Amino acid sequence: MNRLFCLVLIVQLPTCSAVICSAAPPGSVKVFLLAGQSNMQGQGVVAMDDPKDYNGGLGNLVWSMKHSVSKAKMVHLREASDKWTVRDDVEIRYKFRDTVRQGMLTVGYTGYGGSSHIGPELQFGHVLGDHLEEPVLLIKTAWGGKSLHVDFRPPGSSGETGPYYTQMIAEIREALMDLEGRPYEIAGFVWMQGWNDMVSKAATEAYADNLVHLASDLRAEFELPHLPIIIGELGNGGPASDGSDMQRFRQAQKHGAENIARAKFVVTHPFARPAELSPNRGHGHHWFGNAESYFLVGDALGREMLELLND
């Protein structure tokens, strides 16, 4: 009986590695899923410096690489020729308004098109690419102004499944089909979202449970019960005052993450920068468009993902 059982395992393991499972063949593409709303889309200004609309460029990426406290960490983003670095080992795919943007990682994979903005994906991809031997693919599914309570509502929560949960799954599967037979492993999921739930008392109260269901349903969808999951704090505005809506919401995020096995809650509010040193002084919900903030958020998300992978 034991000898027969071992033979069955030997036959089955290669079949498992050809689909979504952790026993992927050596050299398989490591796939990371990035999802959320506008701050995952990316609102960090790259180079625009109009005095009226962009505060003379203060806090944009070009300025941050010369003047911010993080400038020494950013040198890899630009080549000696002043062109933005394009990685040859990290690919990214982002579909926005029926247009698929896909290519090697560099600035510009946001909802704006061109190279005008960055999101957390930029430094996240650099961190993962620097530490993993396998090629990396980032699949980003993000839409501005969407809640977990309604728009991304997972099937496990009572009520109607949110249309953007359904669209997220469909776009992930579409992206995986585009690999056209290349072996891959879905290696992690990053969730950066929350503003539209924070401004609703009912959504805040339900957020922790909805987050647990989101993790459970996503893992079930792809048959990955131990998929590493990162939850990025809604860090906009820096420290939250006691009893504020922001403080209550961050506590709900943290509580939800603590009830998900193999998940980490990543604090991001220390990365907030003041409006007067940022491009979009009236956009507190978008970190004032500060590129350093988005860079540091991506860096923290990436490093915590590596910790989970090492576990």
CA nearest neighbour of 230 among 120, 131, 134: 120
Does residue 274 contact residue 281 with C-beta atoms inside 8 Å? no
What CATH number should be reported for the domain holding residue 100?
A: 3.40.50
- pLDDT value of residue 4: 39
* Residue 143 in domain: yes
User: How would you write the pLDDT of the chain (311 residues) with one tens digit per residue?
Assistant: 343 333 333 333 333 333 344 467 878 999 999 999 999 999 999 999 999 999 999 999 999 999 999 999 999 999 999 999 999 999 999 999 889 999 999 999 999 989 999 999 999 999 999 999 999 999 999 999 999 999 999 999 999 999 999 999 999 999 999 999 999 999 999 999 999 999 999 999 999 999 999 999 999 999 999 999 999 999 999 999 999 999 999 999 999 999 999 999 999 999 999 999 999 999 999 999 999 999 999 999 999 999 999 98
The predicted structure's pLDDT at residue 113: 86
- Token look-up 């961050």 returns 250
Q: Please state the domain count of the chain.
A: 1
Domain assignment of residue 56, yes or no: yes
Q: Are 164 and 146 in contact, with CB atoms under 8 Å apart?
A: yes
Rounded Cα distance, 7 and 66, in Å: 60
Does residue 124 lie within any of the structural domains?
yes
The parent domain of residue 64 ranges over 31-195+269-292
Residues 6+ apart with CB under 8 A from 48: 54, 57, 60, 116, 279
Q: CA-to-CA distance for 4 and 284, rounded, in angstroms?
A: 63
Q: Is residue 308 part of a domain?
A: no
Can you give the pLDDT at residue 26? 79
Q: Does 131 fall in a domain? A: yes
- Res 15: pLDDT: 34
pLDDT for the residue 23: 60
Residues 6+ apart with CB under 8 A from 80: none
Tokens 């950066």 belong to which residue? 192
Q: How far apart are CA 139 and CA 173, in angstroms?
A: 10
Tokens 């709303």: give the residue.
37
Is the CB of residue 236 less than 8 Å from the CB of residue 287? yes
Indicate whether 61 belongs to any domain. Answer: yes
* Predicted TM-score of the model (pTM): 0.92
Q: How many CB atoms lie within 10 A of CB 133?
A: 8
Asked if residue 212 belongs to a domain, the reply is no
The answer to whether residue 263 is domain-embedded is no
Largest pairwise CA distance in the chain:
77
pLDDT at 202: 98
